[in-house]
Homo-oligomer: A and B are copies of this chain.
Amino acid sequence: MKFRNFKMVSFVVYGRGSFNQLDEILAPHRKGDAPMIFLVDHFFENGAPTGDGKSLISRIPLRGKDKIIFADVTYEPKTTQVDKLAKQLKDEFGTVSGVIGIGGGSTLDLAKAVSLMMNNPGSSADYQGWDLVKVPGVYKAGIPTLSGTGAEVSRTTVLTGPTRKLGMNSDFTPFDQIVLDPELTANAPVNQRFYTGMDCYIHCIESLEGTYLNEFSKSYGEKALELCREVFVNKDKWDAECDDKLMMASYAGGMSIAYSQVGVAHAVSYGLSYLLGTKHGIGNCIVMNHLEPYYPEGVKEFKKMVEKNNIDIPVGICKGLTDEQFDTMINVSLGMKPLWENALGKDWEKIMTREKLRALYEKL
């Protein structure tokens, strides 16, 4: 099809305190005594609280054999991690009623992938690509506790596999349910919140300045960008309204990807994360810091936001890398063809040479 037929998330609930409805939301999806599995960002393991002061963990509506599994998202999700989790659940329970991801983009992606691998044979690495998944997963819900990635509405789940970093992109990948409760993001660490928020800001810039855009993606991208500005440029202090708006920015930014594509920052950042394990949000920021030639206005505003919000952007992370390591990053990055084409047009290969990309990596 010339125009993508975009699969939407089935149900959305938005509201401060809507997390309290989770038990009621899950009830109709319980199958006999098969448990709901809550895959929770390890950030909450030590009892980290949500906006209302109670620990998130204590608020999870456990019933029967339900289980909380903490997801170690120190690094971004790997196909091996997904396969191991799915095997563990099959061994312990045979089947489960559903997988509920609670956390940032990594946790949400992990939940989507594990749900799919409960019903699809083989390894998740077999499904890295477009429309390779042929069987729906078990019921899956996503509950973001960090805003910016758009993972809550995307049709992908980005995984680092044995040979590549690529998502399981399919119509079976989007969540059946998302719960958007801005209270859950209130206690996120300031730097992490910024890096993740910038994932949204940066992909809006990349998408709005790209060549793939249409009015659907433009409407969502413009709104997301405006909300990012309200939060990171106009506001002088973080407050509840910032949590509300950034959560909608993330959602709208994710929706805008339906008919657009990210660009230079994401393409270069994928190389970093493949080689060095640099996480997505911070990796994008490290790269964006040096992209004046490609996004002059966007980079200017980005630097203003970094300064205003007192954020540290690491520098010198590519210092001392070998030629071979630079080559690995360059290969991974140049492999992201649609991103480069969106950013630089059909003739992108003439513009972004290996030498030019190497020089960019050396600056980071």
Nearest chain B CB to A111 CB, angstrom units: 19
Question: Given B15, B21, B219, which contacts A248 in the complex, CB threshold below 8 Å?
Answer: B219
Q: Is A8 within 8 A of B5, CB to CB?
A: no
A15 in contact with B214 (CB, 8 Å): yes
Cβ contacts under 8 Å, A190 to chain B: none
Contact B14 A2 (CB under 8 A): no
A11 nearest CB neighbor, chain B only: B5
Contact B5–A25 (Cβ < 8 Å): yes
The answer to the question of A74 belonging to the interface, with a C-beta cut-off of 8 Å to chain B, is no
Distance between A256 CB and nearest chain B CB, rounded to angstroms: 11
Is A6 within 8 A of B2, CB to CB?
A: no
Residues of B within 8 A of A1 (CB): 13, 21, 24-25
Of B9, B14, B241, which one neighbours A216 at CB under 8 angstroms? B14
The residues in A between 30 and 66 inclusive whose CB is less than 8 angstroms from any CB of B are none
Q: What residue of chain B has the Cβ atom nearest to residue A13's Cβ?
A: B5
- Measured in the bound complex, the distance between the Cα atoms of B308 and A191 in whole Å is 49
Q: How far is the CB of A255 from chain B (nearest CB, A)?
A: 9
Bound form: Cα–Cα A169–B9 in Å? 19
Q: Closest approach, in angstroms, between the C-beta of A4 and any C-beta of chain B?
A: 7
Q: Check A291 for interface membership: any CB of B closer than 8 A.
A: no
Please give, as numbers and ranges, the residues of chain B lying within 8 Å of A239 by CB-CB distance: none
Query: Residues of B contacting A4 with CB < 8 Å?
Result: 13
Contact A18 B2, CB 8 Å, known A223-B223, A247-B215? yes
What 7 additional pairs, Cβ within 8 angstroms, besides A3-B17, A8-B8, A215-B248? A1-B21, A4-B13, A5-B21, A5-B177, A14-B214, A182-B215, A216-B251
| 10 intermolecular pairs with C-beta atoms under 8 Å apart | A1-B21, A2-B15, A2-B17, A5-B21, A6-B12, A6-B13, A8-B11, A182-B215, A216-B248, A223-B223
